[in-house]
């Protein structure tokens, strides 16, 4: 079983408009609702790939009820182990401009989590860990959760002997990386914020020195850069694609995590991550991937080892 943790789940709304004009009034041509939050998106992709997947984190209020209903109705539904809270689960709104393909994102902060709710989550997490082959800790922290929460969860996972992937940003990433996760997957901006370096290889190496066993940096259309004990790797999509990038990073995490659980090497892990990420950009709704595109891309991702392990 693969366990994904989303402390700040969301109901994702995607609006499609012909042209997005600031200060204007718009007729929305298409609206989609999806259960969201980074770890939920990861779990949906993992489940679609055939992995036994469990989702935990928090959900509350009327929005949380809708999220759980939509999660359970998915064709390949991960197991719902979300912890109920008094506050209302947040919403995120993605506005897609069809004329350019650009997406504007609006994210609510999330409900305040009390100390008793955090304790209830820790109990659930502890019960799920013994059955997990790998754990993904994903996304932002809702109000009320201490900034070292991910570091705490990483230490629990490591004590249980479960590989853990961390995908967050800012101070939670800085604290979490010091707890020595097996893998982190920042994007270029998150890496620069963490290390102060803009050059990708320098920043990725610096991030690994701070405690992560391996670092896979997402470089957008340029693919992935990985600094690992087995060497430095680059993986690139075979061609540039246009579409909605929402959820592409989460699909990359799912690719990395599924390949890790299957015992695949870095070349196959990165190829799967890039193929899934690119196929997500091509999908019409956030958090989904185009399966035909994924299968076509998987064998054509360019993956190379650039240097041996340091």
**Per-residue pLDDT reduced to its tens digit, 111-156:** 999 999 999 999 999 999 999 999 999 999 999 999 999 999 999 9
Question: What span, in angstroms and rounded, lies between the C-alpha atoms of 64 and 72?
Answer: 12
Alpha carbon of residue 266 to chain centroid? 19
Percent of the chain scored above 70 by pLDDT?
97
Query: What's the pLDDT score for residue 286?
Result: 57
Q: Which residue is it, tokens 């299957």?
A: 262
Q: How much is the pTM?
A: 0.92
Report the run of H or E that residue 158 belongs to, with start and end. helix 149-159
Least trusted range by pLDDT, from 180-184, 231-235, 286-290: 286-290
Query: What's the pLDDT score for residue 309?
Result: 60
Who contacts 209 (Cβ-Cβ below 8 Å, separation ≥6)?
none
Question: What span, in angstroms and rounded, lies between the C-alpha atoms of 123 and 129?
Answer: 10
Model confidence band, residue 98 (pLDDT cutoffs 50, 70, 90)? confident
User: Which residues are known catalytic residues?
Assistant: 250
Question: What span, in angstroms and rounded, lies between the C-alpha atoms of 310 and 228?
Answer: 8
Least trusted range by pLDDT, from 74-88, 190-204, 277-291: 277-291
Query: What's the pLDDT score for residue 204?
Result: 94
Query: What's the pLDDT score for residue 295?
Result: 83
Query: What's the pLDDT score for residue 285?
Result: 61
């Amino acid at each position: 079983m693969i366990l994904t943790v989303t402390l700040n789940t969301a109901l994702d709304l995607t609006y499609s408009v012909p042209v997005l004009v600031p200060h204007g009034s718009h007729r929305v041509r298409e609206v989609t609702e999806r259960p969201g939050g980074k770890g939920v998106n990861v779990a949906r992709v993992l489940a679609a790939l055939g992995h036994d997947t469990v989702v935990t984190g928090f959900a509350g209020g009327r929005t949380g009820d809708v999220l759980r209903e939509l999660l359970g109705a998915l064709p390949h539904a991960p197991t719902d182990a979300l912890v109920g809270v008094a506050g209302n689960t947040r919403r995120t709104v993605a506005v897609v401009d069809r004329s350019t393909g650009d997406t504007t994102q609006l994210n609510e902060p999330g409900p305040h989590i009390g100390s008793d709710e955090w304790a209830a989550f820790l109990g659930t997490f502890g019960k799920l860990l013994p059955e997990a082959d790998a754990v993904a800790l994903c996304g932002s922290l809702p109000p009320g959760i201490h900034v070292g929460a991910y570091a705490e969860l990483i230490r629990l996972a490591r004590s249980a002997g479960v590989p853990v992937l961390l995908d967050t940003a800012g101070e939670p990433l800085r604290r979490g990386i010091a707890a020595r996760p097996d893998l982190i997957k920042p994007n270029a901006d998150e890496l620069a914020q963490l290390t102060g370096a803009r050059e990708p290889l320098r920043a990725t190496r610096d991030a690994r020195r701070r405690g992560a066993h391996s670092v896979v940096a997402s470089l957008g259309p340029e693919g992935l850069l990985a600094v690992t004990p087995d060497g430095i790797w680059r993986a690139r999509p075979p061609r540039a694609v246009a579409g909605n990038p929402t959820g592409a990073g989460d699909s990359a995490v799912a690719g990395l995590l599924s390949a890790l659980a299957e015992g695949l090497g870095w070349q196959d892990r990165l190829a799967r991550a890039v193929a899934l990420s690119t196929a997500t950009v091509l999908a019409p709704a956030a958090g989904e991937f185009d399966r035909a595109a994924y299968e076509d891309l998987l064998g054509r991702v360019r993956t190379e080892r650039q240097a041996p392990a340091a």
